[in-house]
Structure 1
Amino acid sequence: MKYDVCIIGSGAGGSPIAYELSNAGYKVVVLEKGENYTEEDFSKDELAVSRRDMFTPPLNEQKHIINEYSNSSDFTRYDGAKAGWSFWNGSMVGGSSNLMSGYFHRMKPRDFKLLSSYGKIQGANIVDWAISYEDLEPYYTKVEEVIGVSGRVVKHKHQEPRSTEDFPQKELATNGATKWFDKACDVLGFESIPTPRAVLSGDSLKRHGCYYSNFCGSYGCASGAKGSARAALLQKCDVKIITDAFVYKLKSTQERVTKAYYYTQHGFSHAVKAKIFILSAQAIESSRLLLNSKNQFFPNGLANSSGEVGKNLIFSAGGSGSGRFNFENLTKEQQSELMQPGLFFNRSLQDWYDYNDGCRIYKGGTIDFLFEHQNIISRASRELYDDEGNIMWGEKLADKLHSRLTTSRVLTFEVFNDWLPTDNCFVGVDEKEVDKYGVPVGVINLYGHPHDLAVGEHLAKKAVKVLEEMGAEEIDYSISASPPPNLVAGGCRFGDDAKTSVLDRNCKAHDLENLYVSDASFMPTGGSVPYTWTIYANSFRVADEIKKELAKLS
C-alpha cells in the first residue's frame, strides 16, 4: 500500500508529525520496531522493567559495538552483549517517551548560538543552530498545550522569553521538604525554580492526572498522566501503526527515497511506499540505517554526500549526587514532611546557566533535584555492607534495611550541561558483526571532551552547597564522561551548508527531495537541559513544513 507519509519510529520525534498530518487528512503509516502497550500493560514490576529490560531488545540478539576513547587515538573496544553495555531505550509505540521522568526545560536563546555566544573550544566541533529560539518558541508553547506540561513560571535571571505567562497545567503537588530547599536557596542567594514536568497534575486532555506513585523514570505510566508520544498523540489520531517492524534499509534513486524495507519479528521482509519518508528511529539507529542503506548513488550511506552521517554524536554531560536526611536531626514535623509518600520534589537551579570564572564566560547548565528512585532493589543493595565494608547477613542486615528505609530519605540531584561534539564521538557500522536479522550493527564511538567535566564539576559543587545548607549528610557526587544512553542526539546535524551538514534547516536531507530526519539526530549541540521538549517542539515545526510540501504534491 502506498501512503502519503511513512514515519520510521514512533517516539517524540516522529509522533508529532504523525499526529499533525493524519489529523490534516493525510494517509500516514508508522513503522515501529517494538510492541504497542497501553496503560493497562504498565506495572511497577522492578524485576521486569529495570532488571530484565522488558522494553528493550536483548543484547544477545541486537547488540552494539562500543569504542571508548581515552584520548584522541587510543580506545577500548567492547562487545555490547558481553559487556552488558546497551544504548537501547524504549522499543515500543511511543518510544522512550513512555519511560521518561518528564523533566521539561526549554533551551535558552544562547543555546542556539553556542559558537557565537561563547567562542571556540579547542577539539570541539561547535556551531550555531540554523534556526533561533524565536523560531522554536511557538512550538515549545504548542507542546505545553498538546502534550501537557505542568508547572509554575517564576522569574529568574536565565528565564527564557515566553509568549504565554504560565504553564497550561497546574503545578504538581510537592513534598513538604521543598520548603527546606527554597529556604536554603534563599540563604545562599540562589534562585529556586519549580521544575516543569510533562506530567498532568489533574485530569485533562482526555487523560487522567498523576496519582503520585513516584515511579516515573524507566516505567510506563498506568494513569496516562505522563506526556508520552503514545498517550498524548498517537492514541488521538487516525494513523496506521505497524508494530514489530524493524526497518533495515531505505531504497532510493538519486533524488528520492522510494521504499522502506522492514523485517517482522519472524524475519519476513516487507516494503512500504510513500511520497515522503520521515526517519525518527533514535539518533544512533537513524545514523545506522542511513549508513546501511548505501547504494550506487550514495556509496557511503544514504544522504551522506557530506560524509557527516553519524558524526558529532552528543549526549548530555554532567552527572549526579545525593545527600541523606536522618530523622535524628529533624523535628517530628520535618520527619512527617520528608516521608510524605509519592509527592514530587520538583526543584531546579539554573543560576549558572552561564558563569564567569574571571577569565572567560562559560556555558553552564541545569541542576534538577529529586528524591532517589523508589526501586527497592537498588535502594536495598546500597545497604549490604557495614561501616567497615564487610557484607552483612540475616537479622543484622534486616535491622539496617528497616532503619535506613524508614528513618531517613535520600535527596539526589542531576547535572545537565553540554556534551561538546568532537571528531571521536560518532556512529558507524561494523564490517563483521550483525544482529539477529543479519544487518550490520551500530558502532558507537565515545569520547567526552574534558571541558564537559570541568563544567559539570562546577555545577555539582553548587548543588552540594544546597544540600549542606539543608542539613543533609553522607553527601557525595560523581561527574564523569560516561554517556547516559537515554539522552543522545546528533549524527545528522542540520545546517545551511550541504557540505558540512546532513539536513537543511527544516530537517530535510540536503541530498534527497523527500527524506526528513526528525528525532534528536538533527541537533548540532544539545543545550544544558534534557532533550525531549526540544525534540517534540522541533517535530511539530517540521510537521508544518511537510504540510506545505504535501500541498504542492497534491
Structure 2
Amino acid sequence: MTADIDDDGSPWDVVIVGTGMGGAALGYALARRGRRVLFLERGVLQPASEQPAGEVTDPDERLRLGLWPDPVRMIVNGRATESYAAIGCAAGGSTRLYAAALERFEPDDFDSTGGWPVPYAEMARSYAEAEDVLNVLGTRDPLGDPGAPELPPPPPCAPVDQVFIDDFARAGLHPYRLHVGIGYRPGCRECLGVVCDRACKSDAANSFLQPALATGHAELRAECEVTAIDSSGRTATAVAYRRNGVLRRVHGRVVVLAAGALRSPGLMLLSANADHPAGLANRSGLVGRHLMFHASDWVALWPSRKAGMDGPRKTIALRDFYRAGGGRLGAFQSVGLTAGYGNVLMFLYDWFDRGALARLRFLRPFLRIPAAIAAKLFGKASIFALIMEDLPYPGNRVAVDPAAPGRIIVHYDIHPELAERSRMARKLLRERLGGLRKFFLRPDFMIDTGHPCGTCRFGDNPATSVLDRDCRAHDLDNLFVVDASFMPSSAGVNPSLTIAANALRVAGTIDAQLG
C-alpha cells in the first residue's frame, strides 16, 4: 500500500525526526514546558539487549538489535568500500549502544577555534543540566576547567585500573576517573556496545525520551522512516514518513532534524524543491559538507603489576595529550575492554572491512587465527584509546543517491596533517608511557565512524554556515537541527554530552519562538 495520507488533527508544536541524544533532550525540555511534541523514530521502541555472536547483515535483524540496518558506502581517498558504521537505530538512537562516556569539551574548543558562535561560558550552564539529568559520575580533571562543578563520585574501579592510575601518575601524567553515565547497580556489566536493559546506563531513551513521554505532552511513533521535509518559501510545512508501507505527512509549527550527522543532511538534500533547488537550507552549498569523525588509535597496555580485573573498567581518562607540539590531539581513555579473543577479532574485522582486502570476502573468516594467537600473547592487557580531533574540510561530505534515498554515502579524504598528528601522538604515547609494556593494535589510526559531526555547521555568517547560533536554518524560519551536525569542530572527546547540552540550550529559543 503506497497511499499518501495526511495525518488529521491540528499541527504539533514541534515534530522531531530522530530520538538520539539531541532529539530526545530537546523534546524532553520542550515537553516539560508544556509543548506538544511528536517524535518520529525509524528504529524499534525497545531493541534487544543481547550481544550478537558475529556480524549481523540481515536488515531486519539489525533493526531488532538497535543497529542501523544498511551498510554505509565509504569512499575514502577515492577508494570505495561498504561497511556497517557504528550507528544505532532505535528509540534513543546510537546512545542505546554507546559506552556512556560523557565528557565536556575544553573551553578553548569553543573560544579559540574560531568556529563556535557560542562561548564556553554560555554552554557551561547547559552542560551542568545535562550532567545532572544523565547522572554523570566522575572526578575532576586536574587539567580541566577549574570552574566545572564537582560530579558525584563513582564507585571504586577494578584493582587493575587503580594500578594503571598509579602508573600514569608516576609517569607525570594527570589521570582522573572518566566521566560516565553508568549507575553501577549490583551486577552491572557496563553494557559497552550493547543495549542496557536495566536502565543502569544513562542513554537518551531512559534519561530524556521516557520522561518526555511521561509528561503527557509528547508522543513517539516508532518504525517510521522519514523520507522528506516539505517546505514553501522560508517555512517547513510537513514531514513525510513511511510506516507499514504507507506514506504519511504530519505537520508541526517547528520541525527539528535530529537523525544524526550522516542522515539529517541527507534528508535536507533529498528535500529539494523549486524554492530550495540545491536542497533544503542549502543556499550556502554546505549541507552535508565539513564532515568530521574522530581518529582513534587503540593500544594494549600491561599494568606494572598484576591485579584483579573485577569491577568497573570504563574508568580512566587523561588529557595530557589534548594539545601537544602545536597540534590538536585529544583525550586518552580506557576502553573498558581486555585484549581477549573476541575484542581482538572485532578489531580485526573492522580493520579488514575498511581496508583493501574487503573485496576478498572469503578471507574474512580466517581472521580468527591471528585473533586467537594475539589473545594468547596479550594475556591480561587492557585496551586504551587516544581520541584525536578531526578537522573540518569541505570536501569531506555526505552525499545522497535519489535512486536509493535511504542509502548513506560518505566521501572522505584523510589529509596529510591528520596522518602527521597521528604520528606525533604515537611518539608522545611511547615517550610518556615508556615504562609500560604496550602494543598498538593497528599499523596506523582508524576513522571512528561512530562519531560523525559537522555536516550542518552553525555560525553567524549564512555564507559559511547552515545554521545560526540557535541551530535554526539560515534559510528557513522554523527548521532546526540538533544532532551532531551542528558542530563546527569535533574536539578531542566523545560528543554525546555536548550534543545533549546544546539541545537543552536550543530548547529555550524554540519555546520562545512558539510564543
Normalised by the length of structure 2, the TM-score is: 0.86
Larger radius of gyration between Structure 1 and Structure 2:
1
Q: Does 1:523 align with 2:506?
A: no
Q: CA deviation at 1:273?
A: 0.4
Q: Deviations over 1:282-304 (max 9, x none)?
A: 00100100000000000000111
Q: What is the correspondence of 1:205-220 to structure 2 with a 5 Å cutoff?
A: 209=185, 211-216=187-192, 218-220=193-195
Paired with 1:50 and 1:214, the residues of 2 have a C-alpha distance of 25
In the alignment, does 2:467 pair up with 1:503? yes
Q: 318, 330, 341: which is aligned to 1:349? A: 318
| Whole-angstrom CA distance in 2 between matches of 1:445 and 1:504 | 25
User: 1:154 and 1:65, CA in 2 relative to 1: closer, same or farther beyond 3 A?
Assistant: closer
Q: Distance in 1 between matches of 2:443 and 2:333?
A: 15
User: For residues 401 and 188 of structure 1, do their structure 2 counterparts lie closer, same or farther at Cα, with a shift above 3 Å needed?
Assistant: closer
Please give the alpha-carbon distance, in whole angstroms, between the structure 2 residues aligned to 1:374 and 1:90. 24
The answer to whether 1:33 aligns with 2:42 is yes
Unaligned runs of 5+ residues in structure 1 are: 70-74, 116-126, 202-208, 384-390, 392-396
2:111–2:120 Cα contact (<8 Å) kept:
no
Task: State the Cα deviation string for residues 322-360 of structure 1 (Å, max 9, x = none).
Answer: 1346xxx95xxx3xx33x33422511121122223xxxx
SS state at 1:89 partner? coil
1:67 pairs with 66, 72, 75, which one? 75
Across the aligned residues of Structure 1 and Structure 2, the Cα RMSD in angstroms comes to 2.8
Q: Which residue of 2 aligns with 1:149?
A: 136
Residue 110 of structure 2, aligned match among 109, 112, 131: 112
Alpha-carbon distance change, 481 to 254 in structure 1, aligned in 2, over 3 angstroms: farther
Q: Tell me what 1:447 maps to.
A: 413
**Residue of structure 1 in register with 2:101 after alignment:** 103
Alignment of structure 1 residues 210-289 onto 2, 5 Å: 211-216=187-192, 218-238=193-213, 239-264=218-243, 266-289=244-267
Q: Could you say if the C-alpha distance between residues 311 and 243 of structure 1 is closer, same or farther in structure 2, counting changes exceeding 3 Å? A: same
Residues 354 and 402 (structure 1 numbering): CA distance in 2 closer, same or farther, change over 3 Å? closer
Matches for 1:484-495 after TM superposition, within 5 Å: 484-495=448-459
Distance change >3 Å, CA 419–CA 297, structure 1 → 2:
same
CA distance in 2, matches of 1:476, 1:402: 12
Amino acid at match of 1:65: R
**Tell me, what secondary structure is at the counterpart of 1:423?**
coil
Closer/same/farther in 2, CA of residues 481 and 401 from structure 1, 3 Å limit: closer
The one-letter code matched in structure 2 to 1:77 is: A
% same residue: 25
Q: 1:146 to 1:65 in 2, by over 3 A?
A: same
Query: What does 1:333-482 align with in structure 2 at a 5 Å threshold?
Result: 334=306, 337-338=307-308, 340-356=309-325, 361-372=326-337, 377-379=342-344, 404=376, 408-430=379-401, 432=403, 434=404, 439=405, 441-465=407-431, 468-470=434-436, 472=437, 475-478=439-442, 480=444, 482=446
Letter in 1 for 2:334: F
Specify the SS of the correspondent of 2:229.
strand
Q: Deviations over 1:132-162 (max 9, x none)?
A: 1111001111111111101111433xx1243
- Partner AA of 2:224 in structure 1: A
Give the alignment of 1:130-141 within 5 angstroms. Answer: 130-141=117-128
Task: Show CA shifts across 1:65-99 (max 9, x none).
Answer: 33222xxxxx1234x3xxxx123611100000111
- Please list the CA deviations of residues 202-254 of structure 1 after superposition, one character each: whole Å capped at 9, or x if unmatched: xxxxxxx36332432x2011221211000111111232000111110100010
Code of the residue aligned with 2:187 in structure 1: it is Y
User: Pick from 47, 52, 67: which aligns with 1:56?
Assistant: 67
Q: Is the 8 A contact 2:332 2:387 kept in 1?
A: yes
- Please list every run of 5 or more consecutive structure 2 residues that lacks an aligned counterpart in the other structure: 1-8, 349-362, 364-368
Bigger drift between 173-182 and 272-281 goes to: 173-182
Alpha-carbon displacement from aligned partner over 1:425-459 (angstroms, at most 9, x marks no partner): 11111254x1xxxx363321011222222223333
Question: How many pairs does the alignment contain?
Answer: 477
1:137 touches 1:162 (CA, 8 Å); kept in 2?
no
Q: 1:34 to 1:277 in 2, by over 3 A?
A: same
CA distance in 2, matches of 1:291, 1:410: 46
CA distance in 2, matches of 1:550, 1:161: 37
Q: Is the 8 A contact 1:415 1:460 kept in 2?
A: no
2:145 & 2:258 partners in 1: Cα distance?
Answer: 28
Q: Which moved more, 1:219-228 or 1:295-304?
A: 219-228
| Distance (whole Å) between structure 2 residues aligned to residue 210 and residue 253 of structure 1 | 54
State how far apart, in whole Å, the 1-side matches of 2:466 and 2:56 are. 36
One-letter code aligned to 2:28: Y
Q: Report deviation, 1:170.
A: 2.5
Structure 2 CA distance for partners of 1:381 and 1:141, relative to 1, 3 Å: closer
TM-score (norm 1): 0.80
Q: Structure 2 CA distance, aligned partners of 1:469 and 1:491?
A: 41
The structure-2 alpha-carbon separation of the partners of 1:25 and 1:321, relative to structure 1 and needing over 3 Å to count, comes to same
Report the CA distance between 1:477 and its aligned residue: 4.1
